[in-house]
């Protein structure tokens, strides 16, 4: 990156260029020339969840409940960044609730997962944020969230365990209090 290019680029791109100078003996070679711009664009996308609000994402996709049985959306793909190393983690979320007065459009559950996954995260907090957001909006009789994810910060560095995965859960209302509800949920998600 030339001095003119550095002056035109924002602080984010300048920081990426300085990092490249520390990591690569030829930080101005052709393959790295536009890397600061590409990295900024990518990280703005990876962290777009900060610009989103779960209440607004759900919007008016609430409907009168005609059931009081469990609603489960399984295998919601998620991608996030570990806040400790900025390394990706990825996996699946399984999200269930037992309606009280309202049900929500099913795609909105996946969108709530995205709101919180697209931030710098730890899996434990991500799991709780999804459950608490749905609990807050829907006022259901219970919410259950299980996330299974693989963390590149464990797979590529540190202990280098490629086959490891992490499972977290957050159980609220009947999912926490009622053993039968909890057992049904965990059986349905394969736990």
Classify burial at 19, counting beta carbons within 10 Å of its beta carbon; exposed 0-12, middle 13-18, buried 19 or more. middle
Is position 94 annotated as part of the catalytic site?
A: no
Q: Is 170 a catalytic residue?
A: no
Span 94-142, pLDDT tens digits:
999 999 999 999 999 999 999 999 999 999 999 999 999 999 999 999 9
Tell me which residue range forms the domain holding 24.
3-46
Whole-prediction pTM: 0.91
160 in active site: no
- What are 167's strand-pairing partners? 148
Q: How far apart are CA 11 and CA 1, in angstroms?
A: 13
Residues 152 and 74 in one domain: yes
Please report, for residues 138, 149, 162, the alpha-carbon distance to residue 155 in angstroms, rounded to integers and kept in the order given: 37, 12, 5
Structure tokens at 27: 């930080």
Q: Is residue 51 part of a domain?
A: no
Pair 182, 169: CB distance under 8 Å: no
How many folded domains does the chain comprise? 2
Quick one: pLDDT at residue 6? 54
123 is catalytic: yes
CATH classification of the domain holding 63: 3.30.1130.10
Q: Is residue 110 part of a domain?
A: yes
Q: In this model, does residue 4 exceed pLDDT 50?
A: no
Query: In angstroms, how far is CA 37 from the centroid of its own chain?
Result: 24
Q: Are 37 and 9 a contacting pair, CB within 8 Å?
A: yes
Verify that 184 and 117 share a domain, yes or no. Answer: yes
């Amino acid at each position: 990156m030339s001095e003119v290019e550095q002056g035109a680029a924002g602080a984010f791109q300048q920081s990426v260029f300085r990092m490249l100078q520390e990591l690569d003996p030829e930080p101005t070679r052709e393959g790295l020339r536009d890397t600061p711009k590409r990295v900024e664009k990518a990280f703005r996308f990876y962290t777009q969840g900060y610009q989103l609000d779960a209440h607004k994402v759900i919007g008016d996709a609430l409907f009168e409940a005609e059931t009081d049985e469990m609603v489960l959306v399984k295998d919601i793909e998620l991608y996030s960044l570990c806040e400790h190393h900025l390394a990706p983690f990825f996996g699946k979320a399984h999200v269930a609730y037992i309606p009280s007065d309202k049900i929500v459009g099913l795609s909105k559950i996946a969108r709530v997962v995205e709101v919180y996954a697209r931030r710098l995260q730890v899996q434990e907090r991500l799991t709780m944020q999804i459950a608490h957001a749905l609990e807050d909006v829907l006022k259901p009789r219970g919410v259950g969230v299980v996330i299974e994810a693989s963390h590149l910060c464990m797979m590529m560095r540190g202990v280098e365990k490629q086959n490891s995965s992490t499972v977290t859960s957050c159980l609220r209302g009947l999912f926490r209090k009622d053993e039968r509800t909890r057992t049904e949920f965990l059986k349905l998600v394969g736990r």
